[in-house]
Chains A and B, each alone.
Chain A
Amino acid sequence: MATEAKVDPMHQFTIEPLFGTDHWSLAGFNVAFTNSALWMLISAVVLYAFMLGGMKRELVPGRWQMMVESMTGFIENMLSANVGKEGRKYLPYVFSLFMFILFANLLGLLPLGLIGLHPFTFTSHFTATGVLAILSFAIVLVVGFWKHGFHFFSLFVPHGTPLPMIPLIFVIELVSFLVRPFSLGLRLFVAMMAGHVLLEVLSSFVIGGANAGVFFMGLVSIPSFILMVAICALEILVAGIQAYVFALLTSLYINDAEHLH
């Protein structure tokens, strides 16, 4: 069972309450401090430490301050390109979102298993990504109805739609609008989970092949290991891309709410 658990590619996503927090609850709901919550906290702390380097506020920035500024400038550019000058007020949210997801994805990829720790990627849980997706969607709804009132529904009727088509288009657009939080949350969850499962499966090939003798080691383990190295590089890319996509889609949706079509 123990060796079986070691190569169970799904085991890495198991949520475990940490040291005696099992029965913490709030209004009847279990709020145990789990390994998932721990890695959220670690991501937040690392992100905070990273941002401290940008707080030197020097006229001529050092490397660290430059990194922080390029990240901030990147999100600011994305917002001003997609939302326009109203995008500035969403910078805190979109920046937090992007950096939090990015740090979570990257920290979850750290090879901490080598020193006996278990990295946990909470972005591979749709309960976590769903919260972020629903937050983004809620912001879109609140901003949309706040700014445009019931005129916000014109978002579902593109300009120039022929009159007989309006009811049909309205339904289609409404459904595609309502699917947004799901696609937003599921995309991140699926991308992160798929990459981690793939790495785990390949690592089980490496171990299994090595255990089966020299021939299988050469045939299976070594190619799998080379593939793992390549996929690790790909996963780092995916970690960045998924954080970017989440932030980009959020800013596009905010643009819909700000400007309709």
Chain B
Amino acid sequence: MPQISQLAATYSSQIFWMLVIFGAVFFLVGRGMAPKVIETMEGRDQKIAADLAAAEGARRDAQAQDDAWKAAAAKQRGEAQALIAAAKADAAKAAEVRLSAAGADAEAKVAEAEARIAMARQGALAEIETVAAEAAADIAARVAGLTVAADAARAAVKDVLHG
């Protein structure tokens, strides 16, 4: 077993080189490199955590904006509906007013026309009486040779006409 048979000859060399080389490993790899690797891993973990937090924040922000937008939209829709209702009411009122004005106008026109018709009829009736009286006087002169005064003829015609 060389571990024991060579012990006296090699122990100092083994211990010396072990200390030298393991010491180098400890300082170069253990103290130099391993903490940097751990640092890299922690940096990555932190970055991932920060990114997740940022994403969560952005999501919450978007949610809040969406909520605000929805509320604003609802409010605006309500306002629009109110405006439409007011406009409708206004329009209805205006239509009513114009309709009644037009109705009154038409009524006035109808009344005026009726009055004119009545006057025309009156005039026509008077005309007829005159024509009839003249015609009666003329007929009397031609048939009986009588000269009838215009007033008398008109009175007679009026009598006949108004019975």
A99–B24 CA distance with the chains assembled, in angstroms = 13
A132–B16 CA distance with the chains assembled, in angstroms = 12
From residue B34, how far is it (CB to closest CB) to chain A in Å? Answer: 5
Within 8 A of A (CB), among B24-71: 24-26, 28-31, 33-38, 40-41, 43-44, 47
Task: Using CB atoms and an 8 Å cutoff, list the residues of chain B in contact with chain A.
Answer: 1-3, 6-7, 9-19, 21-22, 24-26, 28-31, 33-38, 40-41, 43-44, 47
* Complex contacts, A122 vs chain B, CB 8 Å: 14, 18
Which of A35-43, A110-118, A150-158 binds B?
A35-43
Within 8 A of B (CB), among A152-186: none
A32, A57, A59, A76: which contacts B13 (Cβ < 8 A)?
A32
- Residue in B closest to A99 when the chains form the complex, CB atoms: B29
A72:B21 contact, CB within 8 angstroms: no
From residue B120, how far is it (CB to closest CB) to chain A in Å? Answer: 107
* Complex contacts, B1 vs chain A, CB 8 Å: 10, 13
- Residue in A closest to B3 when the chains form the complex, CB atoms: A125
A13, A34, A72: which contacts B34 (Cβ < 8 A)?
A72
B2, B9, B30, B37: which contacts A69 (Cβ < 8 A)?
B37
- On whether A95 and B21 interact (CB within 8 A), knowing A13-B1, A72-B34, A73-B41, the answer reads no
Selected A-B contacts with CB under 8 Å, 26 pairs: A11-B2, A13-B3, A14-B6, A17-B13, A29-B16, A31-B12, A40-B21, A43-B21, A44-B25, A48-B29, A51-B29, A51-B33, A54-B33, A57-B40, A96-B22, A96-B25, A96-B29, A122-B14, A125-B3, A127-B3, A127-B10, A127-B14, A128-B14, A132-B18, A135-B22, A189-B3
